[in-house]
Amino acid sequence: MPQPPTHSSSLDMAQPEPIDLSSGKYVKLWQGPQHPGITGNMSLELTLCGDEIVECKTHVGYLHRGFEKFMERRTYIQNFTVVCRIAVPEPTFNEYLYSAAIEELAGIEVPERANWLRALNLEMMRLASFLMWTGGMSGAFGLYTVPNWTLTYRDYILDLFEELTGARIYHMYIVPGGVRNVLPDGWKARALEILKGTEKMMREVDRVMMNNAVFKARSKGLGLIPPDMVDPYGIVGPNARAAGFKRDLRKDEPYLVYDQLDFEVVTATASDAYERAWVRQQEIFQCINLIRQMLERMPDSGPFQAQMPNVLHWKIPPGETYLKAECTRGEYGYYVVTDGSEYVRRVHVRGPSYTHAIAVMERLAVGTNIADIAGLMVSLHTYPPEIER
């Protein structure tokens, strides 16, 4: 654990020398809004001097659908179908946090079995999301074999989701009050089988990507995040853990059933793109392990939904809460304010990408080679829709 950061140095906004485009020294280049190096739609307005980036400005809004606004017009139950769309590759965290916040404000106690099923879903989601990221990360460095492997296994996990929840991407499974369904017959066995395959595949990824001379050469030292940058920039999750911060909400402020599970927080020290990738690789194995633990220990019977009021005219007393969970990118949070009516007064969704993809990215990009900008971006693991909600 590094010393508490000092705030002086890191707070300076990136202040590049004044850029005179007419000098002919610079080139403006737009990366995105459609670009495989950006997981989602977002653009980077880059100013280059030669191969080197001297200024990076981010532009978001391509995915702005005004979720927070129109959640104020929909009933509590209707909103649960909306929130999953705020982070496409990881909808489950939205479902869980929204439901948990509503439950806290409405005073609903969720049955134990639902908590296990929720945690199981969250870990499966983490696994699927990390697999997709692994593909993206290796692809950004020109390794196109790994994405084929990881996306295949991600699809197997989506098969499991499809069986359990009825959908592959927008599961809409975790609902205020509990979950919508229980594990189908034979599901556990199939899940274990797929986990086994995923684990084997990930060991191969370890050899092909993490121990690849090209990958190492290009990612080591790239996008260095000094520890004293972490708090001022609100950096969380693997990005912070790779900088030596042993912070994981599952461990620090356990929710659902995480206090009953056995795992260690993964940390690294070099805090570059390679270490961030390494932390995520370790967390994939950790995730598989957690799912196995849960499959073994979760109850097979009992209620999975709390006694619910009639959701068609569900009123929740005035209150506010902020709940958070550790998603693949770190602290994901839902701030919910109710005013006693049938509609939520305010929802604010705190996604880690909000700072990772804008303030952090704009700073780290400066001085980076144009060829590595995609790798840098992916190494921060960002999802644009959670920025603009």
Partner 1 sequence: MSLKDLISPFFVWQRAFEKPYTVGLKPIVERPGAPAYRGFHINMSDDCVGCGSCFTICQNHAIDMVKVDGLEAHGGDSGLRPRFDYGRCCWCGLCVDICTAGSLRMTNEYAWFTTNPDDFRFVAGMENKSWDGRTGGYHRHPDYHLFPPKRIEMEMLAPEESVASFTEVAKGYTEEQAKLEADRCVECGICVATCPAHMDVPDYIHSIRDGDYEKGLQLMYRTNPFPATCGRICTRRCESVCPVGIQGEPVAIRWLKRFIVDQVAEADYARILPNVEADTGKRIAIVGAGPGGLSAAYYLRLKGHAVEVFESQAQAGGMLRYGVPSYRLPDPALDKDIEHIRSLGVEIHFNHSIGRDTAFSDLLDNYDAVFVSTGLNVPSQMRIQGEDHPRVMDGLKLLDDVANGKDPQIGTSVAVIGGGNVAMDAARVSRRLGAEVTVLYRRRIEDMPADTEEIHEAQAEGCIFVTQAIPVEALNAAQSDQVTLKWGEAEMLQDPKGGRPRPVLQEERMHLDTFDTVVSAIGQGSNLDYIPTEISDQLQIKWGKFIPGDYQQMVLNKLFVGGDVANATADAISAIEDGHHAARGIHRFLDTGQRG
Partner 2 sequence: MNSMLERLSKEFRVTDITERHPGLTTLTADKDVAETLLRELRDREGYTHLNFMTAIDYIERGVFTLVYMLHNYATKSTLSVHVNIDRVNAEMTSIHTLWAQAWTYQRELRELWGINFPGSPRVEEDFCLEGWEEIPPMRREFDTVEYCERTFTSREGRGTVNPREHMAEIIFPNRGGDK
Is residue 4 part of the contact set for partner 2 (CB under 8 A)? yes
Q: Which is nearer to partner 2, 68 or 206 (CB)?
A: 68
Helix axes 187-205, 273-297, angle to 10 degrees: 160
Is residue 342 part of the contact set for partner 2 (CB under 8 A)? no
Rounded to an integer, what distance in angstroms lies between the CA atom of residue 195 and that of residue 274? 25
Among partner 2, partner 1, none, what binds residue 309 when CB lies within 5 to 8 Å by partner kind?
A: partner 1
Among partner 2, partner 1, none, what binds residue 135 when CB lies within 5 to 8 Å by partner kind?
A: none
Q: Which is nearer to partner 1, 75 or 321 (CB)?
A: 75
How far CA 209 is from CA of 54, 287, 320, in Å, comes to: 29, 19, 45
Phi-psi map region of 31: left, alpha, beta (phi>0 left; psi -120 to 50 alpha): beta
Query: In the set 2, 11, 81, 189, which binds partner 2 (CB under 8 A)?
Result: 11
Among partner 1, partner 2, none, what binds residue 232 when CB lies within 5 to 8 Å by partner kind?
A: partner 2
**Cβ atoms 156, 190 nearer than 8 A:** no
Contacts made by residues 189-196, CB under 8 angstroms, sequence distance 24+: 190/160, 190/163, 191/160, 191/291, 191/295, 192/292, 192/295, 194/153, 194/156, 194/157, 194/159, 194/160, 195/288, 195/291, 195/292
- Of residues 211-230, those binding partner 2 (CB under 8 A): 229
- Of residues 91-150, those binding partner 2 (CB under 8 A): 104
Nearest to 70 by CA among 349, 367, 374: 349
Q: How far is the CB of 10 from partner 1 (least distance, A)?
A: 32
Q: How far is the CB of 183 from partner 1 (least distance, A)?
A: 11
Query: In the set 163, 199, 206, 231, which binds partner 2 (CB under 8 A)?
Result: 231
Among partner 1, partner 2, none, what binds residue 342 when CB lies within 5 to 8 Å by partner kind?
A: none
Q: Which is nearer to partner 1, 45 or 163 (CB)?
A: 163
Q: Which is nearer to partner 2, 337 or 370 (CB)?
A: 337
Among partner 1, partner 2, none, what binds residue 181 when CB lies within 5 to 8 Å by partner kind?
A: partner 1
Is residue 320 part of the contact set for partner 2 (CB under 8 A)? yes
- For CA atoms 251, 205, 42, 21, the dihedral sign is positive
Among partner 1, partner 2, none, what binds residue 33 when CB lies within 5 to 8 Å by partner kind?
A: none
Contact window for partner 2 (CB under 8 A) among 163-171, 290-298, 310-318, 347-355 = 347-355
Is residue 233 part of the contact set for partner 2 (CB under 8 A)? yes
Is residue 371 part of the contact set for partner 2 (CB under 8 A)? no
Rounded to an integer, what distance in angstroms lies between the CA atom of residue 304 and that of residue 116? 9
Rounded to an integer, what distance in angstroms lies between the CA atom of residue 47 and that of residue 31? 11
Which residues make Cβ contacts (< 8 Å) with residue 334, sequence separation at least 6?
94, 97, 98, 100, 101, 322, 323, 324, 347, 348, 349, 350
Q: How far is the CB of 55 from partner 1 (least distance, A)?
A: 32
Residues that bind partner 1 (CB under 8 A): 74-75, 77-79, 81-82, 143, 145, 149, 152, 159, 162-167, 170, 172, 178, 180-182, 184, 204, 207-208, 211-214, 216-217, 303-305, 307-313
Per-residue DSSP letter, 175: E
How far CA 378 is from CA of 14, 125, 225, 358, in Å, comes to: 21, 18, 14, 13
**Cβ atoms 338, 118 nearer than 8 A:** no
Rounded to an integer, what distance in angstroms lies between the CA atom of residue 377 and that of residue 324? 24
Is residue 332 part of the contact set for partner 2 (CB under 8 A)? no
**Cβ atoms 324, 97 nearer than 8 A:** yes
Q: How far is the CB of 329 from partner 1 (least distance, A)?
A: 25
Residue ranges binding partner 2 (CB under 8 A): 4-5, 7, 10-11, 13, 60-61, 64, 66, 68-70, 72-73, 104, 229, 231-234, 247, 252-253, 319-322, 324, 331, 333, 335, 337, 345-346, 348, 350, 354-355, 358-360, 363, 387-388
